[in-house]
Amino acid sequence: MVFSSIPFIFFFLPFFLIIYYLVPFKVKNIILLIFSLIFYAWGEPIYILLMIFSSIVDYTNGMLLNKTKNKTKRKIILIESLIINLGLLGVFKYSDFLISNINSLFNLDISLLNLPLPIGISFFTFQTMSYTIDVYLEKVKPEKNFLNFMTYVSMFPQLIAGPIVRYETISEELEKREISLNNFSSGMMRFLEGLFKKVLIANTVGALYLEISTNYMMYSALTLLIGLMAFAIQIYFDFSGYSDMAIGIGKMLGFNYLENFNYPYISKSITEFWRRWHISLSSFFKDYVYIPLGGSRTTKFKHIRNILIVWFLTGLWHGASWNFILWGLYFGIILLIEKFALKNVLAKLPNILKHIYSLILILIGWLLFAFEDFTTLISYAKRLFGFHNNLLGNDFYFFISNFGIILIIGFIFATPIGKHIKEFMMKKKGLNIILGISYIGLFLITIALLVSDTYNPFLYFRF
């Protein structure tokens, strides 16, 4: 089930919240667990066993680590957790990718497994694995209550599309948390904002991107540029909207998740972009791969190696396809260049040029990300630069006149301007009434779009 759907908003969420608020605190975690399992089973009735298995494994690991001080034993437990979690991920997410590469490399014909990707596997394996690592490093105390641990892993707000919540972030809140009207209300507002981002902007701009990318052979170069920008807007609003909804629901339940996005498109460098985009993922790789490998406090050669490994993995995490790996390495190399060569040059540039520099590189990145198939990628890129088509045609005016307004709205809300306007209006009497009415209006529009639209896929659903 996705958050931006009629059954979730009108049935699952209200029904769950009413029960959650009615029961005494002791039972709340169990209710949350039960509803989370229903939520997961809603889309993947069988793979739910996989998530339960992963939870049992790492809960047991935590308990075992608690019992022994023996260094070798502890290491074995750690390695066992890594093997099991990465093994699950490997089998279910990467096996066909591996097989097809082996096939084409050695001219073999091993048949593919064609396993469907379990929803959220990239997220929950990372969560349970990080827990065992943290217990091993003695950063957190192991969870003794299995139900609490299972609740942490399966919690439906962040279950299928993140953010990747670490155990340390919510371990205390699993025992004790503030469930109040104020938290409920601000959580609900956050949920609404995420819902608007997803339904009003990501879905509509997504339809634009879909049109241009399917028929790109017919369109002029500037239209393809609009297509690429539409993709950039769609993926940001889709994913950050989802994170907002997750954080909002978390808050309604009394949990405080960390932020996952911080206006990435206003970055002045690629280094900054990756501090603002999918923060829970970059910090995961930083803490669990980059730093254990030695980070930057090592020889220059190893430092460069570490960065490339992290970005290879970041790319690979996004999907079992070479274009994602290329996309990751592309950013890895830019980060290296920024670090070792461009740092001083960039610092001297006026801000506007820094923004342009960053946005162009980000857009080229999305080009690599958007097309899994290299032939299409190259063909689209050639036309984007006007090699086989007109620079400008009627189609461009069509897309601008039909989608210009929604694109501009997207541009504006990709920056903090919207937030500033909202805070300004909220403080002023009269204006706050207008603000309130617009929220209700936007909510009604969202319902209209959800009821009439069948086009409602989550981009990050299958990662």
Binding interface with another protein (CB under 8 A): 1, 5-7, 9-11, 13-14, 42-46, 181-182, 184-186, 188-189, 192, 211, 215, 218, 394-395, 397-399, 401-406, 426, 432, 435-436, 439-440, 443-445, 447-453
CA distances from 11 to 6, 16, 414, 444 (A): 8, 8, 31, 17
Answer yes or no: are the C-beta atoms of 146 and 59 closer than 8 Å. yes
Q: Is 62 exposed, middle or buried (0-12, 13-18, 19+ CB in 10 A)?
A: buried
Contacts of 318 (CB under 8 A, 6+ apart): 324, 327, 328, 369, 463
- Spacing of C-alpha 455 from chain mean position: 20
318 is catalytic: yes
Nearer residue to another protein within complex by CB, 156 or 273: 156
Q: How far apart are CA 123 and CA 125, in angstroms?
A: 6
Report in angstroms how near the CB of residue 181 gets to another protein at its nearest. Answer: 6
CB of 408 to another protein, least distance (A): 10
Selecting among 278, 318, 388, 420, the annotated active-site residue is: 318
Residues 15, 463: Cα–Cα separation, whole Å: 28
- CA–CA separation, 202 and 235 (whole Å): 7
Smallest gap, in angstroms, from Cβ of residue 264 to another protein?
Answer: 25
Give the whole-angstrom CA distance, residue 314 versus residue 447.
36
91 vs 409 by CB, closer to another protein: 409
Residue 113 or 217 having the CB closest to another protein: 217
Buried b (16+ CB within 10 A) or exposed e, 427-461: eeeeeeeebeeeeeeeeeebeebbeeeeebebbbe
- Is there a contact between 313 and 285 (Cβ–Cβ < 8 Å)? yes
Query: Residue 56's Cα: distance from chain center in Å?
Result: 25
Q: Which tokens belong to 164?
A: 């990747």
Q: Between 42 and 263, whose beta carbon lies closer to another protein?
A: 42
CA distance 170 to 119: 22
Nearer to another protein, 293 or 406 (CB): 406
Residue 322: both structure tokens together? 């070479």
Nearer to another protein, 298 or 402 (CB): 402
CB of 95 to another protein, least distance (A): 22
What residues are labeled active site?
318
